[in-house]
Amino acid sequence: MPAVSKGDGMRGLAVFISDIRNCKSKEAEIKRINKELANIRSKFKGDKALDGYSKKKYVCKLLFIFLLGHDIDFGHMEAVNLLSSNKYTEKQIGYLFISVLVNSNSELIRLINNAIKNDLASRNPTFMCLALHCIANVGSREMGEAFAADIPRILVAGDSMDSVKQSAALCLLRLYKASPDLVPMGEWTARVVHLLNDQHMGVVTAAVSLITCLCKKNPDDFKTCISLAVSRLSRIVSSASTDLQDYTYYFVPAPWLSVKLLRLLQCYPPPEDAAVKGRLVECLETVLNKAQEPPKSKKVQHSNAKNAILFETISLIIHYDSEPNLLVRACNQLGQFLQHRETNLRYLALESMCTLASSEFSHEAVKTHIDTVINALKTERDVSVRQRAADLLYAMCDRSNAKQIVSEMLRYLETADYAIREEIVLKVAILAEKYAVDYSWYVDTILNLIRIAGDYVSEEVWYRVLQIVTNRDDVQGYAAKTVFEALQAPACHENMVKVGGYILGEFGNLIAGDPRSSPPVQFSLLHSKFHLCSVATRALLLSTYIKFINLFPETKATIQGVLRAGSQLRNADVELQQRAVEYLTLSSVASTDVLATVLEEMPPFPERESSILAKLKRKKGPGAGSALDDGRRDPSSNDVNGGVEPTPSTVSTPSPSADLLGLRAAPPPAAPPATSGAGNLLVDVFSDGPAAQPSLGPTPEEAFLSELEPPAPESPMALLADPAPAADPGPEDIGPPIPEADELLNKFVCKNNGVLFENQLLQIGVKSEFRQNLGRMYLFYGNKTSVQFQNFSPTVVHPGDLQTQLAVQTKRVAAQVDGGAQVQQVLNIECLRDFLTPPLLSVRFRYGGAPQSLTLKLPVTINKFFQPTEMAAQDFFQRWKQLSLPQQEAQKIFKANHPMDAEVTKAKLLGFGSALLDNVDPNPENFVGAGIIQTKALQVGCLLRLEPNAQAQMYRLTLRTSKEPVSRHLCELLAQQF
Partner 1 sequence: MQFMLLFSRQGKLRLQKWYVPLSDKEKKKITRELVQTVLARKPKMCSFLEWRDLKIVYKRYASLYFCCAIEDQDNELITLEIIHRYVELLDKYFGSVCELDIIFNFEKAYFILDEFLLGGEVQETSKKNVLKAIEQADLLQEKTENMYHSKSFIGCKRAY
Q: Which of 669, 673, 667, 672 is nearest to 652 (CA)?
A: 667
CB of 447 to partner 1, least distance (A): 31
**Which region, judged by CB under 8 A, interacts with partner 1, from 61-69, 187-195, 805-813, 936-944?**
61-69
**Which region, judged by CB under 8 A, interacts with partner 1, from 165-173, 504-512, 560-568, 730-738?**
165-173
Instruction: List the interface residues with partner 1, window 477-506 (CB under 8 A).
Output: none
Q: Which of 794, 748, 814, 813 is nearest to 775 (CA)?
A: 748
CB of 185 to partner 1, least distance (A): 19
CB of 909 to partner 1, least distance (A): 21
Query: Is the four-CA dihedral 654, 659, 665, 668 of positive or negative sign?
Result: negative
Kindly tell me which residue out of 67, 660, 727, 937 binds partner 1, with binding defined by CB under 8 A: 67
Which residue, 101 or 627, is less far from partner 1 as judged by CB? 101
Does 64 sit near partner 1 (CB under 8 A)? yes
CB of 888 to partner 1, least distance (A): 21
| DSSP category for residue 817 | B
Amino acid code (one letter) for 644: V
Amino acid code (one letter) for 919: N
Instruction: List the interface residues with partner 1, window 233-272 (CB under 8 A).
Output: 246-247, 249, 254-257, 259-260, 263
Does 4 sit near partner 1 (CB under 8 A)? yes
Instruction: List the interface residues with partner 1, window 619-658 (CB under 8 A).
Output: 621
Does 919 sit near partner 1 (CB under 8 A)? yes
Instruction: List the interface residues with partner 1, window 452-471 (CB under 8 A).
Output: none
Which residue, 44 or 256, is less far from partner 1 as judged by CB? 256
Tell me if 851 sits within 8 A of 844, measured CB to CB: yes
CB of 937 to partner 1, least distance (A): 35
Does 51 sit near partner 1 (CB under 8 A)? yes
At a CB cut-off of 8 Å and minimum separation 6, what does 153 contact?
188
CB of 739 to partner 1, least distance (A): 47
Q: Which of 681, 940, 896, 710 is nearest to 820 (CA)?
A: 710
CB of 202 to partner 1, least distance (A): 4
Query: Contact letters (x/-) for partner 1, 881-900, by CB under 8 A?
Result: --------------------
Instruction: List the interface residues with partner 1, window 336-355 (CB under 8 A).
Output: 343-344, 346-348
| DSSP category for residue 47 | S
Kindly tell me which residue out of 22, 34, 77, 88 binds partner 1, with binding defined by CB under 8 A: 88
Applying CB under 8 A, the site for partner 1 has a residue count of 83
Kindly tell me which residue out of 79, 83, 112, 129 binds partner 1, with binding defined by CB under 8 A: 129
Which residue, 344 or 440, is less far from partner 1 as judged by CB? 344
Number of H helices, E strands in the chain: 46, 16
Instruction: List the interface residues with partner 1, window 284-303 (CB under 8 A).
Output: 301
Does 17 sit near partner 1 (CB under 8 A)? yes
CB of 931 to partner 1, least distance (A): 21
Instruction: List the interface residues with partner 1, window 197-216 (CB under 8 A).
Output: 201-202, 205-206, 209
Residue 732: alpha-carbon gap to chain centroid: 52
For 725, how many CA atoms within 13 A lie in the half-sphere containing its CB? 5
Q: Which of 141, 110, 115, 138 is nearest to 128 (CA)?
A: 115
Does 53 sit near partner 1 (CB under 8 A)? yes
CB of 93 to partner 1, least distance (A): 6
CB of 135 to partner 1, least distance (A): 9
Instruction: List the interface residues with partner 1, window 821-880 (CB under 8 A).
Output: 873-874, 877
Which residue, 256 or 441, is less far from partner 1 as judged by CB? 256
Kindly tell me which residue out of 140, 637, 650, 891 binds partner 1, with binding defined by CB under 8 A: 140
φ/ψ region of 643 (left if φ > 0, alpha if ψ in -120 to 50, else beta) reads left
CB atoms closer than 10 angstroms to residue 570: 16
Which residue, 17 or 883, is less far from partner 1 as judged by CB? 17
b/e for 787-814, b at 16 or more Cβ within 10 A?
A: ebbeebebbbbbeeebeebbbbbbbebe
CB of 20 to partner 1, least distance (A): 9
Which residue, 160 or 828, is less far from partner 1 as judged by CB? 160
3-state helix, strand, coil in the chain (%, to 5): 60, 10, 30
CA distance linking residue 313 with residue 678, whole number of Å? 55
Does 133 sit near partner 1 (CB under 8 A)? yes
Kindly tell me which residue out of 109, 151, 152, 174 binds partner 1, with binding defined by CB under 8 A: 174
Kindly tell me which residue out of 30, 34, 38, 87 binds partner 1, with binding defined by CB under 8 A: 87
Instruction: List the interface residues with partner 1, window 739-758 (CB under 8 A).
Output: none
Tell me if 691 sits within 8 A of 774, measured CB to CB: yes
Which residue, 473 or 921, is less far from partner 1 as judged by CB? 921
Q: What are phi and psi of 269, to 5 degrees?
A: -70, 175
CB of 406 to partner 1, least distance (A): 24
**What is the 3-state secondary structure of 905-973?**
HHHHHHHHCCEECCCCCCCCCCEEEEEEEECCCCEEEEEEEEEEECCCCEEEEEEEECCHHHHHHHHHH
Helix (H, G, I), strand (E, B) or coil at 861: coil
Degrees, nearest 5: CA angle 14-133-209: 130
CB of 511 to partner 1, least distance (A): 46
Which residue, 134 or 762, is less far from partner 1 as judged by CB? 134
Instruction: List the interface residues with partner 1, window 175-194 (CB under 8 A).
Output: 177-178
Overall residue count recorded for the chain in this entry: 978
Q: Strand pairing partners for 777?
A: 768, 827
CB of 180 to partner 1, least distance (A): 14
At a CB cut-off of 8 Å and minimum separation 6, what does 422 contact?
456, 458, 619
Which residue, 10 or 940, is less far from partner 1 as judged by CB? 10
CA distance linking residue 908 with residue 914, whole number of Å? 10
Helix (H, G, I), strand (E, B) or coil at 382: coil
CB of 8 to partner 1, least distance (A): 5
CB atoms closer than 10 angstroms to residue 542: 26
Which residue, 211 or 436, is less far from partner 1 as judged by CB? 211
CB of 257 to partner 1, least distance (A): 7
Which residue, 170 or 944, is less far from partner 1 as judged by CB? 170
Does 274 sit near partner 1 (CB under 8 A)? no
Does 136 sit near partner 1 (CB under 8 A)? yes
Tell me if 948 sits within 8 A of 903, measured CB to CB: no
Instruction: List the interface residues with partner 1, window 682-711 (CB under 8 A).
Output: none
Kindly tell me which residue out of 167, 676, 768, 842 binds partner 1, with binding defined by CB under 8 A: 167
Query: Is the four-CA dihedral 844, 565, 589, 696 of positive or negative sign?
Result: positive
CB of 162 to partner 1, least distance (A): 9
CA distance linking residue 957 with residue 947, whole number of Å? 6
Please report which residue ranges of 121-200 form alpha helices under DSSP H.
Answer: 125-138, 141-147, 151-156, 162-178, 187-193
Tell me if 575 sits within 8 A of 539, measured CB to CB: yes
CB of 633 to partner 1, least distance (A): 22
φ/ψ region of 647 (left if φ > 0, alpha if ψ in -120 to 50, else beta) reads beta
**Which region, judged by CB under 8 A, interacts with partner 1, from 49-57, 525-533, 675-683, 964-972?**
49-57
Does 126 sit near partner 1 (CB under 8 A)? yes
Q: Could you give the C-alpha distances from 96 to 80, 101, 130, 798, 870, in angstroms and in order? A: 11, 8, 9, 64, 36
Does 384 sit near partner 1 (CB under 8 A)? yes
